[in-house]
Structures are given as structure tokens and as C-alpha cells.
Amino acid sequence: MVSPRVRGFLFDMDGVLYRGRQPLPGARAMLETLTRHHVPFALVTNNSTRTPRQYARLLAEMDMPVPEARIVTSSVAVASYLRARLRPGSPILLIGEPPFRRVLERAGFVVTWDDRAKAVVVGLDRQLTYQKLAKALAALGRGARFVASNPDPVLPTDDGLLPGAGSILAALRYATERTPVIIGKPRPTLLREAMARAGLRRHETAMVGDQISTDIAAGRAAGLYTILVLTGVSAAGGPRRGQLRPDLTVRDLRELRRWYARR
């Protein structure tokens, strides 16, 4: 793709802006430059285990202040998706953690385990039980909507890989033979939600990420200019043969900042 007139950015966070609790090279300067010049941007993540407010606090601790309104998690996008389809106060059965529950409740839904659930929402739940799966299965059997935050099969941690939200999702898909609506990357819904909140249009937005299978795939699905940074999952190098190719590959956000300044 020919480089477009990029007017704004969507950034993945972990592996792009920071790793663990350490800012990555150029992250602070990139965000400061965009803020100073009033360039619209938003931060997007599949992770539903923190609220935007919690992410804003985490970033502030790393000296990267970002307003809560600029942070769009998969749980926020799920809530927006459901608000467009269910009445206020509708009961939701959630397989997910307390931050996800808070986002849904702030959106006006009632999180419940009873038989009234109008939707089953699945995210990462590190306290998953057989009983939770059984309740979700029953609600889906009664015709509840089936919505998932993201399909990530594993969760990278300092101690290695753990089962991700997609692993939980796979159990319910197999048991019900139903296909869920997936909101997070690599589907484009999360990015479209973030663009709407940032006031950006497809042809003027760049998606910046460190994972080809999620960030770059989602950006391509949303019709965005895609930029791969080699500071996270793809740190060993760019795309391998057969992989989706980004429109631009940079070593880190220092190089991206220089690229943007030349435009």
C-alpha cells in the first residue's frame, strides 16, 4: 500500500509502548509529540482484565500520562456493541474478571448468573470454574447472544504461557456448536470503536502493533495503514514467508517518530 496521509494513530500497548512495567524506546517521546501537536490517537488492547482507568494509572506510573478516554479495551468495545443491541438494564452472564464486570455495569447492564441472561460474554477469567461454564452453556442453549472479548489462545506472562480467553471460548464453542461474535483483534470491531472515539476515519488512521496475527491483521481488516514495531512479539524480525505483511516495519517508536516527522 502506498503510504497514506496518516492523520492519527491507534497503538497496541504491551510490546509497543511498554514491556512489563518498563517503557519501550521512544514511547514517551512519541506520545508527547502527538499530544503536543494535537494529533488524535487511541490505545487499544484485547486485555479485559484492567479497566481504562487502571491502564491510565499504569501508564502514569511509567511517566506516560494518557487520558482514560483515549484507552479502549476489548471490554469497552464489548459494552458498546451490546448497548447497540440490548435494552438498558439487560442481564448479562459474564465469564470474566472484576474489571470487565465494572465496565459492563457502568454501561448500564446487570451482570447475573440467573436464567434471565440475554447475552453470554466471554473474556479471560483466571478463576474459571466448571460451574461457570455450565451456567454459560445453559444460557447459550436458551438463545442468549454469544459475545467474546478476544480469541487469544494463550496469555504470555513472565512465567510462560497461560491459557487465554480463546481457550475458554473454545470450550463453549465446542459444546454449543455456536460461533461467537468476537470484538477484539484480529477482528476490526475494537479498532472501529477506538477510531469513533478518537474522531478518526479509516483512510487517515495507522494501526501500530507488535503482533502480525492480531494487530496487523486487525488493522488490515479495518482498512487501516499498518505499522509493525519490532519491540514485542515480533522482536526477532519482520514477517516470515507466508505471513501477512504490514505496510511499514520500524525497529521501535523512535524510528516511527522520525518517519512521521518527515511526512
Residue range 182-241, pLDDT digits in tens = 999 999 999 999 999 999 999 999 999 999 999 999 999 999 999 999 997 655 566 666
For 111-152, what is each residue's pLDDT tens digit? 999 899 999 999 999 999 999 999 999 999 999 999 999 999
Which residues participate in catalysis according to the annotation? 12, 14
Domains 8-46+185-261 and 75-182 share a fold: yes
Write the CB contacts of 108 (distance below 8 Å, at least 6 apart in sequence).
83, 88, 89
CATH topology of domain 75-182: Rossmann fold (3.40.50)
Residue 234 confidence (pLDDT): 58
Q: Of the CATH numbers 3.40.50.620, 3.30.470.20, 3.40.309.10, 3.40.50.1000, which one belongs to the domain with range 8-46+185-261? A: 3.40.50.1000
For 77-96, what is each residue's pLDDT tens digit? 999 999 999 999 999 999 99
φ, ψ of residue 208 to 5 degrees: the values are -115, 120
For 1-41, what is each residue's pLDDT tens digit? 445 689 999 999 999 999 988 999 999 999 999 999 999 99
Residue 2 confidence (pLDDT): 43
Compute the distance between CA of residue 107 and CA of residue 92 in angstroms, rounded to an integer: 11
* Domain boundaries along the sequence of the chain: 8-46+185-261, 75-182
